[in-house]
Amino acid sequence: MGNGRWDASAWANYSATTISGRSRRAIFTSNAMKDDYDPAKISLRESRDSDDNPQSTPIILAGDVTGSMGMVAEQLMRDGLNTLATEICDRKPVTDPHVMMMAIGDAYCDRAPLQVTQFEADIRVAQQARELWLEGGGGGNQGESYMLAHLFAAMKVSADAFEKRRRKGYLFTIGDEPVLDGATKDQIKRFLNIPVERDLSAREIMTMAQRNWEVYHIVLVNEGYASRGLDDVLKSWRALLPERTIQLDNVDALAEMVVSLIQVNEGARAADVAASWSGSTAMVVANALKGVPAPAGQTAGLRFLD
């Protein structure tokens, strides 16, 4: 998948008729997971080159939708997707973005702890994102099943970027909670339909994902669990992503943060990237980029697999 190109006017028309002035519930109307987005029923998701996108770059945005975290999906739908696609196309840190959306829950108590759209390059990514079910579940087990997103990316995505050009894609998880330590054998079979011989730890899954993906986690520090237990959240994530656990203090700057991280990873200076945004967004991005290292010895635009 991934034909077509992002068109700001198509977005404006779509937003005016389906999003603007509507509540979260009116935007996201699904009351159960659709089969099309059930990872157990998906054999493979593909990001393929095409005449429209000859040098495709897969990008995954995987947001927590438990409890109040439906705000992540809502923010992306209201304007974030348009900002993300427009700015990547204009700034060109990577070529021909193909965007997939994921919704993350809790494999211990939710009916749909992972949902997965197609990779799309045009308005279809928004159309599919609106069909995701904001289950709003989660449990009191001090974490969510973010690792299901990483495992799906590692085992059920085929992309020309890393198969033809040996270039990594980008995977961003977004949320307010610690990460549960991996997934059990039964969860992996039930929710991903992947047979494994034993439980997999978070570190094992992360290692698998990082073979083909530049992996980041964005912590929404002023929201939900993180607003009262930030130390626990950071300790959990930094054990896996010591330099790629990002603290974001304003969800309204989420799309700009994703674009900025891609730019810095592709060789841009963090200070220049932060200054390129207007108003308060520049300060939010600058604060979040503190401690994020530039890739040593890398040339901008050349992020290859090991």
Residues in contact with 247: Cβ distance below 8 Å, sequence separation at least 6, in sequence order: 219, 221, 230, 234, 287, 288
> In 3D, which of 32, 6, 28 has the Cα closest to residue 19?
28
CA distance readout (Å), 203 to 73, 147, 288: 27, 9, 24
In a domain, 267, yes or no: no
Sign of CA dihedral 186, 200, 237, 150: negative
Digit-coded pLDDT (tens) for 251-276: 999 999 999 999 999 999 999 999 99
Within a domain: 279 = no
Compute and round to an integer the Cα radius of gyration of the chain. 18
Domain tally for the chain? 1
CATH number, domain of 70, equals 3.40.50
Distance of CA 148 to the CA centre of its chain: 12
Give the three-class secondary structure for 56.
coil
The answer to the question of residue 291 being in a domain is no
Q: Percent of the chain beyond pLDDT 70? A: 96
Q: What is the per-residue pLDDT across 68-118, written as a single tens digit (0 to 9) for each? A: 788 899 989 988 999 999 999 999 999 999 999 999 999 999 999 999 999
- Rounded CA gap, 43 and 283, in Å? 42
pLDDT range class, residue 300, cuts 50, 70, 90? very low
Domain that holds residue 65: 8-217+227-243
Would you say residue 299 lies in a domain?
no
**pLDDT at residue 123 tops 70:** yes
235, 244 Cβ separation under 8 angstroms:
no
Classify residue 275: in a domain, yes or no: no
Residue-wise pLDDT for 132-191, tens only, equals 999 988 877 889 999 999 999 999 999 999 999 999 999 999 999 999 999 999 999 999
Judging by DSSP bridges, how do beta strands 114-116 and 97-104 pair with one another? Answer: antiparallel
pLDDT at 215: 98
The 245-248 sheet, strands edge to edge: 114-116, 97-104, 57-64, 169-175, 213-220, 245-248
Torsion sign over Cα 75, 77, 78, 83: positive
Q: Which residues of 11-34 are buried (b: 16+ CB within 10 A; e: fewer)?
A: beebbeeebeeeeeeebbeeeebe
- Say if 304 falls within a structural domain: no
pLDDT of 218 over the 90 cut? yes
DSSP bridge pairs for 183: 200
Note whether residue 152 is domain-resident: yes
Measured CA to CA, the distance from residue 218 to residue 237 in angstroms comes to 10
Q: What pLDDT shows up at residue 301?
A: 44
Dump pLDDT digits (tens) for 44-79.
999 999 999 999 999 999 999 998 788 899 989 988
| Any domain includes 176 | yes
